[in-house]
Every structure is written in C-alpha cells, then in structure tokens.
Amino acid sequence: MRGAILAVVLLTLARLAEATPYETFIDVDDQADLDDLLAAGDLTQDTYDELLELLSNGIDLGTADRAELYALPNLTYEDVDKIIQYRELQKGLIGDPTGLIAAGALTERKLLAIAAFIVVRPVDDRIKVRGTIQLMTRWAPSDGDDRLPPFASRGRFTMLKHVRAGYAATLTRLRLGDAVFDPNRGELLADRPGTKVQVPKLYVMYEDEKYAAIGGSYRIGFGQRLVFDNSSRYTPNGLTFDDQLTFSADLATECRESGGELPSPCLGAARYRYVTPDWRWREGLFGAGAGLKHVDLAAGWLQAYVWASSARRSIYQYELYDRARCTDVYDDADPGCSAPPVYVRPEGNVLSPTTRHSFQTLPNVFRENLVGANVGYFADRRNSVGLTAYGADSTNLIEGIDLDTQEWSRIPIGRRYGAAGANFSFGRDWLDVFGEAAYTYDKSPDPVGPIEGGGGPGAVLRVTATKQKQELETVVRYYGIDHENPYSRPISQPDELDGSRARDEVGVRVRYVTAQKLYTVRAAIDVWTPLTTMKNAEILGKTRAQPKLETYVRTDVRTSHELWLGLWLRYQDKDLGLGGHDECFEVSTEENEAGETIPCAGRQLSSTARARYQYDRKLRFTAMFEHQMLDDEANDDTKFRHDIGAWLIALYHPQPRVRIRGRMRYLDEAINDNAYLERSLSALVDTVVGLRERDAVRIRVDTKFWLDKRASTKDREPSTELQLWLSYEARL
C-alpha cells in the first residue's frame, strides 16, 4: 500500500516537472488573511511564521538584495533578477512599483499579491519624520474576570531617511512574576500572574545601501540558516529590526495551579474556565549589530557583519531540573531529575501553606550572552562564498539553585555552545546552487548511547532551476546526531532529537511550481530518516532505519474570469516500514519498557477542495472543504479516523478605505464519535475603516460554538466564546 502511494507521487512529480518556499499562492492584506490560510490548512505553521514576520517588517524594493527579494511570496529567481535589473536601470530607485508591470518584470497579479509585503521609501528627503503608531486591545466576557483587558502598542518611526526606531509594548495579565529560590522549602517560588506593563521590543537602526547598524531588539541570519539564524525568512542575509507581537485566537486557561501544601483550586468547573489571552512575543536578540553591506573591490564586493547580544530568557517550567538532585538526566526513573516544583508565593507570611504553579512559562530564568560574525565575498549577486561563526554561554539568574535543562529541551543553561561554517552560492542562466556546511560546539552532559556530545557536523545543499514561469528546487540535507545548535534553522522536518529539529536527520526534498495564466501547479516530496536507531532498537526490538515521507500536489485552475477552482492532496507517513491502523499519527499514547514515549508511526491523507469566486472588484468569496483520514489507535485500530472541516470566507471592499471580512468554519474531528475530539462552529466579522487620510480603526468580533459532548466542553466557561477586538492605527 505505502509503496504504491509513493510510486504514484513520484510519477506525478516526474510528469509535472514556480517552487517558491510557500505551499500556495499568497494573496493577503494583513495577519487576518494569513490566519485564514493557516486555519484552512493552506499553510504550515513554519510558513505562517515566515510570512507573518515578512508582513510585519516588509521588504524595501529599493535596497533589498537577491536573497531578501526571494523571500517575497510567489516570486521565482527569474522574477527577482528582473526586479534587480529594473532597479539598476532606475539608478537604484523604485518610486512607483507599478513600473515593474510596464517593464515586464512582474505580472499585475504577482505585484498585487506582494503589495502587502513591500515597503516603498519616499524619494523626497524633505520629509524628516514619519511613522505609524498602533494601539490594540481585545476582550472576551467571562465570569469572574474583572481585570483590565490586555493592551498592546507598536510604533515605527523613520527619521532623516536612513534612521529607524521603534518599540512594542503590552499590558499582560497572565504572566508570572520572576521565580526565586525559597530556602525554607528548598524549591522555587513565584508570584501569581498580575497586571504588568512589558516593553519586550525596542530598537534604533541605521541602514543605507552600504552600511547597517542596530541597537536594541533585532534578528539576523545568513546562508542556508545552518550556522546562525533567528529570523523567520527563507533566505536571510543580514540584520533587521524586531518589534513583532503575536496573538492567539483561542482563549487561555485561567487557573493553572496544582495541589501542593494546599489542594488545587483548579478542580471542577474552575479547571475549564477561560479568559482573554495576553499578546505574545518571541524572545530574540537584544544588543547591537553592525554590518558593511557592500564594500566595492576591484572585482565584486565584500560583506561583513558582527553582532552581540545579552538577553534575559524565559523557559517552560518543566524544562528545568536541579543538578544537585539529579544523578542522570537521561534516566527517567530518577525522581531527582524531575522539574523542581514552583510554589505560589503566599500573601503575607511566606511560610504559609500554598499551592504550586502548573504549565507556566517562568520569566527571566537565565541570561544568554552571545557574539557572532559573518564575512562574505560576492563576485556578483549570484556567486558568493561566506564564513559565519558564533559563540554563546548562558548563566542561571536564580540564585541558590543549580538549574539545568532536561535532555529534551533545546535551551542550554550554564553551558557554552556555538557553531562555525561556510556557505556558497553559484548561479548561471537558469541554475542556482546554494550550500552550507557547519560544525557545532556544545558543552553537553556525559554522553549517552550514540550521543557523544561536544558538537557535530551538518550540511545543506539546495539546487534551484528556474525557467519560463517554472521553478524546480531540490534540497539534500544531513544533520549529525551531535549537531546541536539552538540557532540553527535550516530546512528540516519537525521531528526532534532532544528538542532540536536540525539534528539526527538525512533527507531529500523536491519542490516544483509552475504558474501559468490559467492554472498553477505546486508539488513537493520529502523523504527523510533519523540517523540513529538508538530509540528504535528499544521500541522495535531490532535495529533499522525509520524512513518518513511527506508529499503534496496542489492545482488551481482559472475556469472563468470570476472563478478559480483548486484541489490539494497531501500524504504524510511517519514510518514507511510500519503499517496498520493500530499506529498513531498525532499524539503517542504508548511507552516502551524504559518508560519512554514510543514515536508515532501512522499515516495521514488530507484532501482539500477550494473555490474562489470574484463577484466583482469589491466582493470575493472563498469556499473550502477538507477531509482527513489518519491513523489513531485511541479511536479505532481497524480503520482510519475521519475528520472534516468546511470554510466560507467573504471579503467586501465597498469603498477604498473600508474593508469587511467574514469567515465561518465548521470542524469535526473523529466524525463517528462526538465525545472524543472537537466539534465546533466558529465565525468572525472583521471591519477596517479609514477615518481620515492617515488613520484607520479596526473592529473584529469572534464567536465559537462548541458542539461536542466531551466533559471539558460541558464544563467550559464561557460555553459559547465571544471576543471583541479593537485597534487604531495612526500614520505620522
């Protein structure tokens, strides 16, 4: 069965012969559009994160290099090279992007699709200060939640053409206070969540065609993202500011305390009470970085960057353990290696009996100090070589206890780590070849099994062929079992070894895209396997590889001027060597004799049908239906579990400065059992109105009806969710 499916997929790809990094044609205006694509399964979480960062920061068509331009959705390298050629003819200035259409560099459809991701700098230097300020809040009615709703604000300002500054601030309600060591209990102690003002992002940046410098919060990455990358871009090359805030559309659990010296208050109905969540942010670098972007040589040019960061880091409480109590962190039977309890600080007398925090992220647990450097030589924009290296160490900030992280955590505490490597690019005509090799260094605990510690090798080779609106990309990757690098973010699959994705993996991925006037085809196949059989030998009683497969084929056809029809097929197999419906695909529920979780080895086949109808220039409808078949041993070990989902999305532009979006979704997981998983109906209405030329107000209403008969649904409060969103944006 599995061999037949693989043969069909390979034959399909062979016959198909635009592989952009994204799974679908991206045509969005803001984050809400991306949320629609993610909710409908059109995007993976990785792609969503990349596009959200790109949407937040934007790309300057006047200064972006080839790697940065390629990160724009829907573009091939052929498109990128045409943009650069047009820019050179315009002496480096693209004041009006519509000129790209007249010059034949881009089609109207592609330019409109990337419009939300590009930044156009005013040519008039007399404009001294400009920028935007956003104010945002949201609120979900809930019994007992009488606190202020969360607020967020973000500001961006440009001064003297090349100087930028910005911030992101938020009012949080669910974030714990800093943890401290309590010598009386010999455990950690932290305040309950309270209302606090946080300013996680703050920066000042200078950038022109030749130089870049930043102080504050920033992101940086190079090459194939193997040595160092904390951006969310597919092809990073340099530094950018970081002011991103994100939100979850789902409500958050209010009570997160378990029994300690007192019984848990989260029993009964309190266990299922939900409230408005806080805005979130990803902890990045905080310090300074500088770069020489373009230093002309006799032939070609030179690029060089240095960066440093000293940032406080938060960590999920169960990732910690106390070195003084733990004999062997790899021994699950050693109770001393469990995460230390975090008690709730009592009001008044600190010795009063209290409960424990559960499922919380502890802020400011350790400090990470980091330095890095990159140097590259470019013969031209397609041919280059470079070197990148960084080193870091982390220091525990909680005095009185010797903390470290569990073996499955990707975050090291109290250790030194880093990586160094070389990258290259080569381009001629329709062919581009990119590669990077690296070796990591880390001060790991004592070696266990095939994990020797100390660091290991990794390599990525990416080959892209582009011609006549088609693009074929092949990626070959190798990450050793000791290739442990928390700042490595190359192409890889989500399975992990001790918290690291780019580790213990060898694989090949092929992507193909063709974008014609009346149809598009996107296809990909990825086959990979773990390098080590340490865990497989214990689970299966024999030593063998565990090859895995992920593949998809997606077609979209324009049947008329108004109607596009699409079909997407996706197949995933977590172990090509095993079969049967008694395997799991999503969450493993079995353990081996050593108490370790047995990895899932099941399959999932997803089929999605999509129709997009453009009634006129003001009104558009999109309808989608998805059916999934997947292995689920907890549901029925004799047949697939069946899930279905249906979406209806409407976008209405009655006026140039008014936009209304509506979305409805029906979701039914395990359609034959209404008491097993989620069954729900959700809807939202999102309205953006321009008040004046430079101001806009956004109002959004979300609601969700829970239709299943699970105990958690019966006791849920609120039983029907309602969220109200309000934001205001002013342009200076």
- Residue 538 near residue 596 (C-beta atoms within 8 A): yes
Q: Are 578 and 548 in contact (CB under 8 A)?
A: no
447: left (phi over 0), alpha (psi -120 to 50) or beta: beta
Helix, strand, or coil (residue 56): helix
CA distance 170 to 571: 41
Q: Is the Cβ–Cβ distance between 440 and 483 less than 8 Å?
A: yes
The predicted pLDDT at position 15 comes to 32
pLDDT of residue 537: 45
Average pLDDT of the segment spanning 369-388: 96
Q: Evaluate whether 504 touches 451 at the Cβ level (below 8 Å).
A: no
Q: Which residue, among 507, 504, 493, 492, has the nearest Cα to 532 in the 3D structure? A: 504
Work out the angle at residue 611's Cα, subtended by the Cα atoms of residues 71 and 678, and round it to the nearest 5 degrees.
Answer: 85
The separation between CA 585 and the C-alpha centre of its own chain, rounded to angstroms, equals 21
* Three-class SS state of 243: coil
Residue 188 predicted with pLDDT over 70: yes
Q: Look up residue 283 and give its amino acid.
A: E
Report the pLDDT averaged over residues 605-634. 91
In angstroms, the CA 617 to CA 656 distance is 11
Q: How do beta strands 679-692 and 695-706 pair?
A: antiparallel
User: What's the chain's average pLDDT?
Assistant: 85
pLDDT of residue 317: 94
111: left (phi over 0), alpha (psi -120 to 50) or beta: alpha
Residue of higher predicted confidence among 162 and 9: 162
Lowest mean pLDDT among 434-448, 506-520, 572-586: 434-448
**CB-CB contact of 683 with 664 (8 Å):** yes
- The three-class DSSP label of residue 276 is coil
Residues in the chain: 732
Q: Are 165 and 204 in contact (CB under 8 A)?
A: yes
Q: Which of 124, 120, 121, 131 is nearest to 158 (CA)?
A: 131
The winner for highest mean pLDDT among 228-232, 413-417, 623-627 is: 623-627
Q: Between β-strands 274-275 and 257-258, what pairing exists: parallel, antiparallel or unpaired?
A: unpaired
pLDDT above 90 (res 179): yes
Distance CA 566, CA 25 (A): 11
How many angstroms separate the Cα of 72 from the Cα of each of 25, 36, 303, 488? 11, 19, 22, 22
CA 496 vs. chain centroid, Å, equals 16
In this structure, the strands spanning 59-60 and 118-119 are parallel
Question: What is the pLDDT at residue 73?
Answer: 82
Task: State the pLDDT at residue 64.
Answer: 81
Cβ–Cβ under 8 Å, residues 561 and 615: no
Return the structure tokens found at 8: 């069909």
pLDDT at 540: 42
444 falls in which pLDDT band (50, 70, 90)?
low
Residue 164 has pLDDT above 50, yes or no: yes
- Residue 3: band (very low, low, confident or very high) from pLDDT cuts 50, 70, 90: very low
* Higher pLDDT, residue 357 or 124: 357
Confidence of residue 2 (pLDDT cuts 50, 70, 90): very low
Q: How far apart are CA 147 and CA 278, in angstroms?
A: 12
pLDDT higher at 30 or 257? 257
| 3 state SS of 693 | coil
Torsion from C-alpha of 42, 44, 47, 52, nearest 10 degrees: 80
Q: What is the DSSP string of 556-604?
A: EEE-SSSEEEEEEEEEEES-TT--STTS-SS----B-TTSPBPPP--EE
Using an 8 Å Cβ cutoff, are 689 and 658 in contact? Answer: yes
pLDDT surpassing 60 at residue 180: yes
Residue 650 structure tokens: 């409407």
φ, ψ at 370 (rounded to 5°): -150, 140
Q: Identify the top-confidence range among 586-595, 667-676, 685-694.
A: 667-676
Predicted pLDDT at 595: 52
Q: Distance (Å, rounded) from C-alpha 531 to C-alpha 408?
A: 17
Q: Residue 537 corresponds to which tokens in the numbers above?
A: 């030998």
402, exposed or middle or buried, with CB in 10 Å at 0-12, 13-18, 19+? middle
Backbone angles phi, psi at 566, to 5 degrees: -140, 155
pLDDT of 19? 31
With CA atoms as reference, report the closest residue to 308 among 225, 366, 239, 244.
Answer: 239
| Measured distance CA(334)–CA(326) in Å, rounded | 7
Beta bridge partners of 170: 152, 198
Of 537, 509, 551, 526, the residue nearest 599 (C-alpha) = 537
If pLDDT is split at 50, 70 and 90, which confidence band does 412 have? confident
The one-letter amino acid code at 366 reads F
Residue pair 109/558 in contact (Cβ under 8 Å)? The answer is no
Q: Spell 250-289 as b/e; 16+ CB within 10 A means b.
A: ebebbbbbbebeeebebeeebbbbbbbbbbbbebbbbbbb
Selection from 136, 141, 134, 154 nearest residue 726 by Cα: 136
Residue 172 · residue 196 · CB < 8 Å: yes
Model pLDDT for residues 503-539, shown as the tens digit of each residue: 889 999 999 998 888 888 999 999 999 887 544 444 4
Contact between 53 and 233 (Cβ < 8 Å): yes
Average pLDDT of span 410-431? 91
